[in-house]
Amino acid sequence: MAQIFHRSTNTLSKLSIFGAVFFLAGLGGIASLVIRSGFYTQIYVAREQPIPFSHKHHAGGLGIDCRYCHTSVETSSFAGIPPTKTCMSCHAQIWADSPTLEPVRASFRSDKSIEWNRVHKVADFVYFDHSIHITKGVGCATCHGRIDQMPLTRKQNTLLMEWCIGCHQHPEENLRPRSEIFNMAYEQPSASAPVVHRGESYTRQAALGAVLMEEYKVQSLTACATCHR
Amino acid sequence: MRTAATFARSFAALALGAAALLLAGCTQDMATQPRYNPLRASDFFGDRRSARPLVPGTVPRGELRSDAKLYTGMSNGLLIDSPPFPITRADLARGQERFNINCAPCHDRTGYGNGLVAQRGFRHPPSYHIQRLIDAPLGHFYDVMTRGFGAMQDMSDRVTPEDRWRIAAYIRALQYSQHANVSDVPAGERNKLNRLPAAASVPAGHVAVPPASQAPQKESK
Protein backbone atom coordinates (compact mmCIF):
# COMPACT_ATOMS: atom_id res chain seq x y z
CA MET A 1 0.00 0.00 0.00
CA ALA A 2 1.29 3.40 -0.94
CA GLN A 3 2.16 5.77 1.85
CA ILE A 4 -0.61 8.32 2.40
CA PHE A 5 1.38 10.86 4.37
CA HIS A 6 4.79 12.16 3.54
CA ARG A 7 7.53 11.43 6.05
CA SER A 8 7.61 15.08 7.14
CA THR A 9 4.14 14.75 8.75
CA ASN A 10 5.83 12.72 11.48
CA THR A 11 7.62 15.82 12.68
CA LEU A 12 4.45 17.85 12.25
CA SER A 13 2.38 15.53 14.38
CA LYS A 14 5.05 15.43 17.07
CA LEU A 15 5.20 19.21 17.00
CA SER A 16 1.46 19.59 17.28
CA ILE A 17 1.33 17.26 20.31
CA PHE A 18 4.03 19.39 21.89
CA GLY A 19 2.14 22.51 20.87
CA ALA A 20 -1.15 21.21 22.27
CA VAL A 21 0.27 21.52 25.76
CA PHE A 22 0.79 25.22 25.22
CA PHE A 23 -2.51 25.53 23.42
CA LEU A 24 -4.39 23.99 26.35
CA ALA A 25 -2.46 26.02 28.89
CA GLY A 26 -3.30 29.09 26.85
CA LEU A 27 -6.97 28.14 26.79
CA GLY A 28 -6.93 27.68 30.54
CA GLY A 29 -5.26 31.03 30.94
CA ILE A 30 -7.83 32.75 28.78
CA ALA A 31 -10.67 31.02 30.62
CA SER A 32 -9.33 32.14 33.98
CA LEU A 33 -9.00 35.68 32.66
CA VAL A 34 -12.54 35.60 31.31
CA ILE A 35 -14.16 34.44 34.54
CA ARG A 36 -12.33 37.13 36.46
CA SER A 37 -13.21 39.79 33.91
CA GLY A 38 -15.88 42.36 34.46
CA PHE A 39 -17.71 40.91 31.49
CA TYR A 40 -18.33 37.69 33.37
CA THR A 41 -18.62 38.93 36.96
CA GLN A 42 -20.60 42.06 36.08
CA ILE A 43 -18.64 43.90 38.73
CA TYR A 44 -19.31 47.67 38.94
CA VAL A 45 -22.16 47.35 36.43
CA ALA A 46 -25.38 48.94 37.67
CA ARG A 47 -28.38 46.83 36.77
CA GLU A 48 -31.38 48.31 35.05
CA GLN A 49 -34.26 48.27 37.55
CA PRO A 50 -38.02 48.76 37.12
CA ILE A 51 -37.72 51.79 39.41
CA PRO A 52 -34.45 53.73 39.64
CA PHE A 53 -34.17 53.09 43.38
CA SER A 54 -31.25 54.97 44.86
CA HIS A 55 -29.44 53.83 48.00
CA LYS A 56 -27.57 57.11 47.84
CA HIS A 57 -30.84 58.96 48.41
CA HIS A 58 -32.37 56.65 50.96
CA ALA A 59 -29.48 55.15 52.92
CA GLY A 60 -26.97 57.96 52.40
CA GLY A 61 -29.07 61.12 52.20
CA LEU A 62 -31.91 60.19 54.52
CA GLY A 63 -29.76 57.99 56.74
CA ILE A 64 -32.28 55.15 56.79
CA ASP A 65 -30.79 52.04 58.38
CA CYS A 66 -30.33 49.04 56.09
CA ARG A 67 -32.58 47.03 58.39
CA TYR A 68 -35.57 49.28 57.73
CA CYS A 69 -35.79 47.56 54.36
CA HIS A 70 -33.53 44.50 54.56
CA THR A 71 -35.28 43.24 57.66
CA SER A 72 -33.98 39.67 57.86
CA VAL A 73 -30.29 40.33 57.29
CA GLU A 74 -29.37 39.70 60.94
CA THR A 75 -31.36 36.54 61.45
CA SER A 76 -31.48 34.71 58.15
CA SER A 77 -29.38 33.64 55.21
CA PHE A 78 -31.45 35.93 53.03
CA ALA A 79 -31.15 39.67 53.57
CA GLY A 80 -34.68 40.38 52.39
CA ILE A 81 -35.92 42.77 49.72
CA PRO A 82 -38.57 45.20 50.98
CA PRO A 83 -42.20 44.63 49.97
CA THR A 84 -44.05 47.44 48.20
CA LYS A 85 -45.74 48.24 51.49
CA THR A 86 -42.40 49.37 52.90
CA CYS A 87 -41.90 51.85 50.06
CA MET A 88 -45.43 53.10 50.61
CA SER A 89 -44.76 53.76 54.30
CA CYS A 90 -43.12 56.94 53.04
CA HIS A 91 -44.20 57.29 49.42
CA ALA A 92 -47.88 57.35 50.30
CA GLN A 93 -47.09 61.00 51.05
CA ILE A 94 -43.64 61.77 49.70
CA TRP A 95 -43.43 62.30 45.94
CA ALA A 96 -46.91 60.84 45.85
CA ASP A 97 -47.49 61.98 42.26
CA SER A 98 -44.00 61.39 40.90
CA PRO A 99 -44.17 59.50 37.60
CA THR A 100 -40.95 57.69 38.55
CA LEU A 101 -42.82 56.08 41.41
CA GLU A 102 -45.85 55.03 39.39
CA PRO A 103 -44.70 51.36 39.27
CA VAL A 104 -44.60 51.39 43.09
CA ARG A 105 -48.13 52.73 43.37
CA ALA A 106 -49.34 50.39 40.63
CA SER A 107 -47.84 47.46 42.51
CA PHE A 108 -49.53 48.60 45.72
CA ARG A 109 -52.92 48.99 44.05
CA SER A 110 -52.83 45.76 42.08
CA ASP A 111 -51.02 43.63 44.68
CA LYS A 112 -48.46 42.58 42.05
CA SER A 113 -44.85 42.33 43.20
CA ILE A 114 -42.23 44.69 41.86
CA GLU A 115 -39.73 42.49 40.03
CA TRP A 116 -36.27 43.77 40.93
CA ASN A 117 -33.32 42.46 38.99
CA ARG A 118 -30.76 40.69 41.13
CA VAL A 119 -27.40 42.36 41.42
CA HIS A 120 -25.60 39.83 43.59
CA LYS A 121 -26.06 36.19 42.98
CA VAL A 122 -23.91 33.24 43.92
CA ALA A 123 -24.47 29.98 42.09
CA ASP A 124 -27.10 27.65 43.55
CA PHE A 125 -24.46 25.11 44.47
CA VAL A 126 -23.00 27.61 46.93
CA TYR A 127 -24.45 28.16 50.38
CA PHE A 128 -24.21 31.71 51.59
CA ASP A 129 -25.61 33.06 54.84
CA HIS A 130 -25.84 36.71 55.87
CA SER A 131 -26.58 36.19 59.55
CA ILE A 132 -23.31 34.44 60.39
CA HIS A 133 -21.24 37.16 58.74
CA ILE A 134 -23.15 39.92 60.52
CA THR A 135 -22.88 38.15 63.89
CA LYS A 136 -19.16 37.50 63.51
CA GLY A 137 -18.31 41.10 62.70
CA VAL A 138 -18.19 41.46 58.91
CA GLY A 139 -19.73 44.77 57.84
CA CYS A 140 -22.06 45.22 54.87
CA ALA A 141 -19.58 47.57 53.26
CA THR A 142 -16.78 44.97 53.35
CA CYS A 143 -18.68 42.88 50.80
CA HIS A 144 -21.05 45.35 49.16
CA GLY A 145 -18.91 48.49 49.16
CA ARG A 146 -20.28 51.95 49.82
CA ILE A 147 -23.90 51.14 49.01
CA ASP A 148 -24.87 54.48 50.54
CA GLN A 149 -23.05 56.23 47.69
CA MET A 150 -24.57 54.24 44.85
CA PRO A 151 -27.33 55.92 42.84
CA LEU A 152 -28.03 52.51 41.28
CA THR A 153 -27.00 49.33 43.04
CA ARG A 154 -23.91 47.61 41.64
CA LYS A 155 -21.54 44.89 42.65
CA GLN A 156 -18.31 45.93 44.30
CA ASN A 157 -16.70 42.50 44.61
CA THR A 158 -16.48 39.60 42.20
CA LEU A 159 -18.21 37.04 44.50
CA LEU A 160 -15.85 34.47 42.98
CA MET A 161 -14.78 31.57 45.14
CA GLU A 162 -11.27 33.00 45.49
CA TRP A 163 -12.77 36.14 47.00
CA CYS A 164 -14.75 34.22 49.64
CA ILE A 165 -11.76 32.01 50.43
CA GLY A 166 -9.44 35.00 50.60
CA CYS A 167 -11.37 36.30 53.57
CA HIS A 168 -12.11 32.92 55.11
CA GLN A 169 -8.38 32.26 55.32
CA HIS A 170 -7.69 35.53 57.11
CA PRO A 171 -10.95 36.77 58.61
CA GLU A 172 -9.06 38.87 61.18
CA GLU A 173 -8.14 41.34 58.44
CA ASN A 174 -11.79 42.24 57.87
CA LEU A 175 -13.48 42.10 61.26
CA ARG A 176 -14.99 45.13 62.94
CA PRO A 177 -16.90 45.62 66.21
CA ARG A 178 -20.53 44.50 65.92
CA SER A 179 -21.71 48.03 66.65
CA GLU A 180 -20.12 49.17 63.37
CA ILE A 181 -21.62 46.55 61.03
CA PHE A 182 -24.17 48.94 59.53
CA ASN A 183 -21.88 51.93 59.58
CA MET A 184 -21.04 52.49 55.93
CA ALA A 185 -18.36 55.07 56.67
CA TYR A 186 -16.42 52.83 59.07
CA GLU A 187 -12.74 52.69 58.37
CA GLN A 188 -10.20 50.28 59.74
CA PRO A 189 -8.20 51.66 62.64
CA SER A 190 -5.21 53.80 61.82
CA ALA A 191 -2.91 55.98 63.87
CA SER A 192 -4.87 59.10 62.94
CA ALA A 193 -8.34 57.58 63.44
CA PRO A 194 -8.26 54.95 66.17
CA VAL A 195 -11.23 52.67 66.74
CA VAL A 196 -12.52 52.37 70.28
CA HIS A 197 -13.82 48.97 71.29
CA ARG A 198 -14.88 48.19 74.86
CA GLY A 199 -13.01 51.19 76.16
CA GLU A 200 -9.75 50.21 74.47
CA SER A 201 -8.36 52.29 71.65
CA TYR A 202 -6.86 50.46 68.68
CA THR A 203 -4.66 51.95 66.00
CA ARG A 204 -3.90 48.78 64.03
CA GLN A 205 -6.31 46.29 62.41
CA ALA A 206 -3.97 43.45 63.38
CA ALA A 207 -4.49 44.21 67.08
CA LEU A 208 -8.24 44.83 66.79
CA GLY A 209 -8.72 41.78 64.56
CA ALA A 210 -6.96 39.50 67.02
CA VAL A 211 -9.17 40.74 69.87
CA LEU A 212 -12.35 40.32 67.82
CA MET A 213 -11.35 36.84 66.63
CA GLU A 214 -11.14 35.87 70.29
CA GLU A 215 -14.23 37.74 71.44
CA TYR A 216 -16.58 36.58 68.67
CA LYS A 217 -14.94 33.12 68.51
CA VAL A 218 -14.31 33.44 64.79
CA GLN A 219 -12.86 30.45 62.97
CA SER A 220 -11.14 30.24 59.64
CA LEU A 221 -13.57 28.12 57.60
CA THR A 222 -12.00 26.83 54.40
CA ALA A 223 -13.33 23.26 54.16
CA CYS A 224 -15.20 22.76 50.89
CA ALA A 225 -18.32 21.65 52.76
CA THR A 226 -18.65 25.06 54.42
CA CYS A 227 -20.00 26.51 51.22
CA HIS A 228 -20.72 23.46 49.07
CA ARG A 229 -23.10 21.43 51.19
CA MET B 1 1.72 1.08 13.78
CA ARG B 2 1.42 0.78 17.53
CA THR B 3 2.80 4.22 18.11
CA ALA B 4 0.43 5.78 15.57
CA ALA B 5 -2.55 4.20 17.34
CA THR B 6 -1.31 5.46 20.70
CA PHE B 7 -0.89 8.91 19.24
CA ALA B 8 -4.38 8.84 17.81
CA ARG B 9 -5.81 7.70 21.09
CA SER B 10 -4.03 10.32 23.17
CA PHE B 11 -5.05 12.92 20.61
CA ALA B 12 -8.67 11.91 20.96
CA ALA B 13 -8.38 11.96 24.74
CA LEU B 14 -6.87 15.42 24.68
CA ALA B 15 -9.50 16.71 22.28
CA LEU B 16 -12.27 15.23 24.43
CA GLY B 17 -10.73 16.78 27.53
CA ALA B 18 -10.55 20.17 25.89
CA ALA B 19 -14.14 19.90 24.65
CA ALA B 20 -15.31 18.88 28.13
CA LEU B 21 -13.51 21.86 29.63
CA LEU B 22 -15.06 24.20 27.07
CA LEU B 23 -18.52 22.73 27.50
CA ALA B 24 -18.27 22.95 31.29
CA GLY B 25 -18.19 26.68 30.82
CA CYS B 26 -21.53 26.61 29.01
CA THR B 27 -23.74 24.43 31.18
CA GLN B 28 -25.08 26.35 34.13
CA ASP B 29 -27.56 23.73 35.30
CA MET B 30 -25.87 23.45 38.67
CA ALA B 31 -25.73 27.22 39.02
CA THR B 32 -29.45 27.76 38.53
CA GLN B 33 -31.13 24.70 39.91
CA PRO B 34 -34.85 24.08 39.51
CA ARG B 35 -35.76 25.17 43.02
CA TYR B 36 -37.11 28.30 44.64
CA ASN B 37 -34.63 30.51 46.41
CA PRO B 38 -36.22 33.17 48.61
CA LEU B 39 -38.37 35.54 46.52
CA ARG B 40 -37.35 33.94 43.22
CA ALA B 41 -40.04 34.48 40.57
CA SER B 42 -42.28 31.55 39.73
CA ASP B 43 -43.72 30.63 36.35
CA PHE B 44 -46.17 28.26 37.95
CA PHE B 45 -48.26 30.59 40.07
CA GLY B 46 -50.36 33.26 38.37
CA ASP B 47 -49.01 36.12 40.47
CA ARG B 48 -45.41 34.96 39.83
CA ARG B 49 -44.69 34.66 43.54
CA SER B 50 -42.91 31.58 44.83
CA ALA B 51 -43.54 32.77 48.41
CA ARG B 52 -47.16 31.82 48.88
CA PRO B 53 -49.46 33.79 51.17
CA LEU B 54 -50.71 31.93 54.21
CA VAL B 55 -54.20 30.53 54.05
CA PRO B 56 -56.32 32.76 56.32
CA GLY B 57 -56.45 31.34 59.81
CA THR B 58 -53.10 29.52 59.57
CA VAL B 59 -51.23 29.42 62.86
CA PRO B 60 -47.49 28.97 62.30
CA ARG B 61 -45.92 26.61 64.79
CA GLY B 62 -45.01 28.46 67.97
CA GLU B 63 -47.03 31.52 67.02
CA LEU B 64 -50.38 30.82 68.60
CA ARG B 65 -51.35 34.26 69.80
CA SER B 66 -53.10 33.30 73.01
CA ASP B 67 -51.47 35.93 75.22
CA ALA B 68 -53.84 38.86 74.63
CA LYS B 69 -51.72 41.33 76.61
CA LEU B 70 -48.61 40.55 74.62
CA TYR B 71 -50.25 40.63 71.20
CA THR B 72 -52.92 43.32 71.53
CA GLY B 73 -51.61 45.48 74.37
CA MET B 74 -55.06 45.25 75.91
CA SER B 75 -56.64 43.59 78.86
CA ASN B 76 -60.42 43.48 79.15
CA GLY B 77 -60.70 45.99 76.31
CA LEU B 78 -58.44 48.53 78.05
CA LEU B 79 -54.90 49.43 77.02
CA ILE B 80 -52.45 48.18 79.63
CA ASP B 81 -49.88 50.50 81.14
CA SER B 82 -47.18 47.99 82.05
CA PRO B 83 -45.25 45.73 79.70
CA PRO B 84 -46.42 42.09 79.58
CA PHE B 85 -42.91 40.89 80.44
CA PRO B 86 -40.27 42.49 82.68
CA ILE B 87 -38.09 44.96 80.79
CA THR B 88 -34.41 44.56 81.57
CA ARG B 89 -31.56 46.83 80.62
CA ALA B 90 -30.80 44.60 77.63
CA ASP B 91 -34.43 44.95 76.49
CA LEU B 92 -34.12 48.73 76.66
CA ALA B 93 -30.92 48.66 74.61
CA ARG B 94 -32.64 46.48 72.03
CA GLY B 95 -35.61 48.86 72.09
CA GLN B 96 -33.29 51.78 71.42
CA GLU B 97 -31.67 49.99 68.49
CA ARG B 98 -35.02 49.03 66.94
CA PHE B 99 -36.39 52.54 67.56
CA ASN B 100 -33.46 54.10 65.73
CA ILE B 101 -33.95 51.73 62.80
CA ASN B 102 -37.71 51.76 62.39
CA CYS B 103 -39.02 54.93 64.01
CA ALA B 104 -36.26 57.53 63.92
CA PRO B 105 -36.54 58.27 60.17
CA CYS B 106 -39.78 60.14 60.98
CA HIS B 107 -39.84 60.61 64.76
CA ASP B 108 -36.10 61.48 65.01
CA ARG B 109 -33.87 59.96 67.64
CA THR B 110 -35.15 62.15 70.45
CA GLY B 111 -38.84 61.69 69.67
CA TYR B 112 -39.72 65.29 68.80
CA GLY B 113 -41.14 64.20 65.45
CA ASN B 114 -38.61 66.02 63.33
CA GLY B 115 -36.95 63.15 61.47
CA LEU B 116 -35.39 63.60 58.04
CA VAL B 117 -38.35 62.05 56.27
CA ALA B 118 -40.71 64.46 58.03
CA GLN B 119 -38.42 67.29 56.99
CA ARG B 120 -38.75 66.15 53.36
CA GLY B 121 -42.51 66.47 53.37
CA PHE B 122 -44.05 63.62 55.31
CA ARG B 123 -46.68 64.80 57.78
CA HIS B 124 -44.92 65.69 61.04
CA PRO B 125 -45.73 63.13 63.72
CA PRO B 126 -46.59 64.53 67.16
CA SER B 127 -43.77 64.92 69.64
CA TYR B 128 -43.63 62.21 72.33
CA HIS B 129 -43.10 64.96 74.87
CA ILE B 130 -46.58 66.47 74.73
CA GLN B 131 -48.83 65.92 77.74
CA ARG B 132 -51.29 63.67 75.88
CA LEU B 133 -48.56 61.15 75.07
CA ILE B 134 -46.83 61.42 78.44
CA ASP B 135 -50.17 60.47 80.00
CA ALA B 136 -50.93 57.74 77.45
CA PRO B 137 -50.69 54.15 78.72
CA LEU B 138 -47.75 52.10 77.44
CA GLY B 139 -50.17 49.90 75.52
CA HIS B 140 -51.08 52.90 73.35
CA PHE B 141 -47.60 52.94 71.78
CA TYR B 142 -47.77 49.21 71.26
CA ASP B 143 -51.17 49.57 69.64
CA VAL B 144 -49.99 52.30 67.27
CA MET B 145 -47.07 50.16 66.14
CA THR B 146 -49.33 47.15 65.70
CA ARG B 147 -52.22 48.75 63.86
CA GLY B 148 -50.87 52.02 62.53
CA PHE B 149 -52.17 55.49 63.33
CA GLY B 150 -53.15 58.26 60.94
CA ALA B 151 -50.47 58.59 58.28
CA MET B 152 -48.26 56.03 59.99
CA GLN B 153 -48.32 52.53 58.61
CA ASP B 154 -48.42 49.58 60.98
CA MET B 155 -45.10 47.89 61.74
CA SER B 156 -46.54 44.48 62.51
CA ASP B 157 -44.84 42.79 59.58
CA ARG B 158 -41.45 44.27 60.33
CA VAL B 159 -41.12 44.38 64.11
CA THR B 160 -41.89 41.40 66.33
CA PRO B 161 -44.40 41.88 69.19
CA GLU B 162 -41.63 41.55 71.78
CA ASP B 163 -39.56 44.19 70.02
CA ARG B 164 -42.61 46.47 69.84
CA TRP B 165 -42.86 46.33 73.63
CA ARG B 166 -39.15 47.04 73.94
CA ILE B 167 -39.56 50.05 71.66
CA ALA B 168 -42.53 51.24 73.71
CA ALA B 169 -40.42 50.93 76.86
CA TYR B 170 -37.64 52.90 75.20
CA ILE B 171 -40.09 55.63 74.21
CA ARG B 172 -41.00 55.89 77.91
CA ALA B 173 -37.31 56.24 78.69
CA LEU B 174 -37.02 58.98 76.06
CA GLN B 175 -39.94 60.81 77.65
CA TYR B 176 -38.35 60.65 81.09
CA SER B 177 -35.03 61.79 79.65
CA GLN B 178 -36.49 65.11 78.56
CA HIS B 179 -37.47 66.26 82.03
CA ALA B 180 -34.94 64.53 84.21
CA ASN B 181 -32.75 66.18 86.80
CA VAL B 182 -29.30 65.21 87.90
CA SER B 183 -30.94 64.22 91.19
CA ASP B 184 -32.90 61.50 89.31
CA VAL B 185 -29.64 59.72 88.58
CA PRO B 186 -28.65 57.32 91.39
CA ALA B 187 -25.80 58.85 93.38
CA GLY B 188 -23.41 56.04 92.48
CA GLU B 189 -23.98 56.56 88.75
CA ARG B 190 -23.77 60.35 88.69
CA ASN B 191 -20.08 60.62 87.93
CA LYS B 192 -20.73 58.66 84.71
CA LEU B 193 -22.49 61.73 83.30
CA ASN B 194 -19.08 63.34 82.92
CA ARG B 195 -17.76 60.39 80.97
CA LEU B 196 -20.65 59.98 78.56
CA PRO B 197 -18.69 60.13 75.31
CA ALA B 198 -16.28 57.44 76.49
CA ALA B 199 -19.15 55.23 77.59
CA ALA B 200 -20.77 55.61 74.19
CA SER B 201 -17.46 54.48 72.67
CA VAL B 202 -16.96 57.65 70.72
CA PRO B 203 -13.31 57.92 69.76
CA ALA B 204 -11.46 60.21 72.13
CA GLY B 205 -11.20 63.71 70.74
CA HIS B 206 -14.25 63.40 68.49
CA VAL B 207 -16.68 64.91 70.99
CA ALA B 208 -15.70 67.58 73.44
CA VAL B 209 -16.09 66.11 76.92
CA PRO B 210 -17.87 68.68 79.08
CA PRO B 211 -15.84 69.61 82.15
CA ALA B 212 -17.30 68.36 85.42
CA SER B 213 -18.69 71.76 86.40
CA GLN B 214 -20.74 71.93 83.19
CA ALA B 215 -22.26 68.47 83.44
CA PRO B 216 -25.70 68.58 81.83
CA GLN B 217 -28.17 69.80 84.42
CA LYS B 218 -31.24 69.35 82.36
CA GLU B 219 -30.99 67.91 78.91
CA SER B 220 -32.78 69.86 76.26
CA LYS B 221 -32.10 69.34 72.61
This prediction has a pTM of 0.88
Residue A2 resides in a domain: no
In a domain, B175, yes or no: yes
d(CA B84, CA A154): 44
Reported residue count of chain B is 221
SS3 content of chain B, % helix, strand, coil (to 5): 45, 5, 50
- Number of DSSP helices (H) and strands (E) in chain B, helices first: 9, 2
Cα of B16 to nearest chain A Cα, Å: 12
pLDDT tens, A139-188? 999 999 999 999 999 999 999 999 999 999 999 999 999 999 999 999 99
Per residue in A43-89, pLDDT (tens digit) is 888 888 999 999 999 999 999 999 999 999 999 999 999 999 999 99
pLDDT digits (tens, 9 = 90+) for B32-77: 888 899 999 999 998 999 989 889 989 988 888 888 899 999 998 8
Residue A18 has pLDDT above 90, yes or no: no
Among A44, A42, A69, A61, smallest CA distance to A152 is for A44
Q: Which residue of B31, B121, B158 is in closest CB contact with A125?
A: B31
User: Are residue A38 and residue A130 in the same domain, yes or no?
Assistant: no
Chain B residues whose CB is inside 8 A of the A13 CB are 7
Domain contains A174: yes
Which of these ranges, A129-133, B81-85, B124-128, B188-192, has the smallest mean pLDDT? B188-192
Buried b (16+ CB within 10 A) or exposed e, B208-218: eeeeeeeeeee
Per residue in A86-141, pLDDT tens?
Answer: 999 999 999 999 999 999 999 999 999 999 999 999 999 999 999 999 999 999 99
Q: Say if CB B169 and CB B91 are below 8 A apart.
A: yes
Strands (E) located in B32-155 = 74-75, 78-79
Helices and strands in chain A, H and E counts: 11, 2
Query: DSSP readout, A20-60?
Result: HHHHHHHHHHHHHHHHHSHHHH-BTPPPP-SS---HIIIII
The residues that bridge with A201 in the sheet, in sequence order, are A196
Number of compact structural domains in chain A: 3
Q: Do A86 and B158 touch (CB under 8 A)?
A: yes
The answer as to whether B168 is a domain residue is yes
Contact A176, A166 (CB under 8 A): no
pLDDT of residue B23: 59
Give pLDDT, residue B26: 55
Is A24 close to B14, i.e. CB distance below 8 A? yes
* Interchain pair A90, B117: CB under 8 A: yes
B54, part of any domain: no
B45 and chain A in contact, CB less than 8 A: no
Contacts of B12 in chain A (CB under 8 A): none
Asked whether residue B53 is assigned to any structural domain, the reply reads no
Do residues A136 and A70 share a domain?
yes
Is residue B190 assigned to a domain? no
Instruction: Please give the single-letter amino acid code of residue B31.
Output: A
Q: CATH number of the domain that B157 lies in? A: 1.10.760.10
Residue B201, in any domain of the structure: no
Strand partners, A202: A195
Percent of chain B with pLDDT over 70: 79
| Separation CA A229–CA A131 (nearest Å) | 17
Number of domains composing chain B: 1
- If asked whether residues A64 and A109 sit together in one domain, one would say no
Residues in B touching A201 (Cβ below 8 Å): 203-204
The answer to whether position A74 is within a domain reads: yes
**Same domain assignment for residues A149 and A182:** yes
Range of the domain at A88: 82-115
How many other CB atoms are there within 10 angstroms of residue A53's CB atom? 19
- Over the stretch B134-182, which tens digit does the pLDDT of each residue have? 999 999 999 999 999 999 999 999 999 999 999 999 999 999 988 888 8
Q: Does B117 touch chain A (CB under 8 A)?
A: yes
Same domain membership, residue A178 and residue A143 = yes
- Cβ contact A81–B39 (<8 Å): yes
Same domain, A172 and A66: yes
| Predicted local confidence at residue A44, as pLDDT | 84
Rounded distance, CA A210 to CA A198, Å? 14
Asked whether residue A57 falls in the same domain as residue A169, the answer is yes
The verdict on A158 and A212 lying in the same domain is yes
Residue B211: pLDDT band with limits 50, 70, 90: very low
In a domain, B74, yes or no: no
Distance of CA B180 to the CA centre of its chain: 28
| pLDDT greater than 70 at residue B20 | no
Same domain, residue pair A67 and A127: yes
Tell me the C-alpha distance between A73 and A81, whole Å: 10
Of A112, A196, A198, the CB nearest to B47: A112
Res B212: pLDDT:
38
Find, among B29, B34, B37, B35, the residue nearest to A121 by Cα. B37
H or E segment and range at residue A202: strand A200-202
Q: What is the extent of the structural domain holding B163? A: 84-183+208-221
- A24: chain B residues, CB-CB within 8 Å: 14, 17-18
pLDDT reported for residue B218: 38
